[in-house]
Amino acid sequence: MDRIRITGGNELHGIIPISGAKNAALPLMIASLLTDDTLTLENVPHLADVEQLLRILGNHGVDVSVNGRRERQGESYSRTIHFTCRTITDTTAPYELVSKMRASFWVIGPLLAREGRARVSLPGGCAIGTRPVDLFIEALTALGANIEIDSGYINATAPKGGLVGARYVFPKVSVGATHVMMMAATLANGQTVIGNAAREPEVVDLANCLIAMGAKISGHGTSTITIEGVSSLSGARHRVLPDRIETGTYAMAVAMTGGDVVLEGTDGALLETALEAVRRAGATITQTETGLRVVRNGGAIKPVDVVTDPFPGFPTDLQAQFMGLMTMSNGVSHITETIFENRFMHVQELARLGAKISLSGQTAKIEGVSKLKGAPVMATDLRASVSLVIAGLVAEGETMVSRVYHLDRGFERLEEKLNACGANVERVSD
């Protein structure tokens, strides 16, 4: 099993190319199930989750071809992938595939819309909370689906004639359930209105792709999305938007280490709240023609309080990374997690590096320390793992991060990108 060895103490200077967003690529790939034409996606990142979803889509009959690699330093940083699903060969998404990645559960929407039936295993994924599927079930039921849960599977069938448009208000914001209901509604009969819809850029990106495929969608990016069902969708070509979580992660890494880095190919409008928190911590961030320039020279890291919230609030997927940054602030900061009930598992691992963090319910109190010291640590989930990398970049001596398969799920060529800017990060294979 791979580990990552970090020798801390180096500032970051240079250019870090930002990859396509994992959280956008996954639902876009699943949307290929909605049409028998070819959907071409550009800027698809090389990630373990993407590879896993390719296997899952292949199980349903999606043919995949890859071309258009963009070369940098001899390695491919992005792919153009063509997805063609002439016929859905299997409407079952088995446990052995779905249990490895929660987002694969989302195939239930397109399968139900196109084939009128779906049998999908209850999902797996990171151990950051229960994340129940009740919102998905309620949304699909509103569209007329009959749903039963049996032996760990959801069996869903559409009424004769297909799904039927409806008005449905989510009791709480859910990005995944918004994705699924929006995809299912594109082929439903009549109009669907989704209330309290997620407003995340990844939802907007999916809507834009579906519109290019012939869907009739309005209101995406607001809390009310309206979909007029159509009889079929066509193929399209769509570019995956830049990864705002990767953008924020590297901005926090530069704020932690000091230095001057251009995050190439990204847009600050995707994560304004998070970037403002990094600015308040002492970094200077400016939008340039090629991306975002992040600079921190000299000054101390300042304590900043944040509360995670659905977009446009502070992203829960950047909470662990920001906590890593706050461990070296010159005061006391607080981070309150409102999205997931079990997303502080990185606290004990940061403490192994010398961080001083205490928990009270869903709020973490971080008392900044003057230095961190390297130690063996263990990644517990995708975002927690990279918070340990951020801390390791400034820790004295050597930090060894195990279970880095979590990192490979969401960060493309992390050690290569950091090392190109002066870090000392090495992947070690046992």
Q: Which amino acid is at 250?
A: Y
Choice among 85, 126, 209, 421 that is catalytic: 126
Annotated binding site for phosphoenolpyruvate: 22-23
Q: Residue 254's CB: how many other CB atoms inside 10 A? A: 29
Annotated binding site for UDP-N-acetyl-alpha-D-glucosamine: 102, 131-135, 172-175, 317, 339
Is 126 considered catalytic here? yes
Residue 8: partners with Cβ closer than 8 Å, 6 or more residues away: 372, 374, 392, 393, 394, 395, 396, 397, 399, 424
Q: What sign for the dihedral angle of Cα 270, 275, 276, 277?
A: positive
Distances from the Cα of 192 to the Cα of 48, 139, 183, angstroms: 34, 11, 11
Catalytic positions are 126
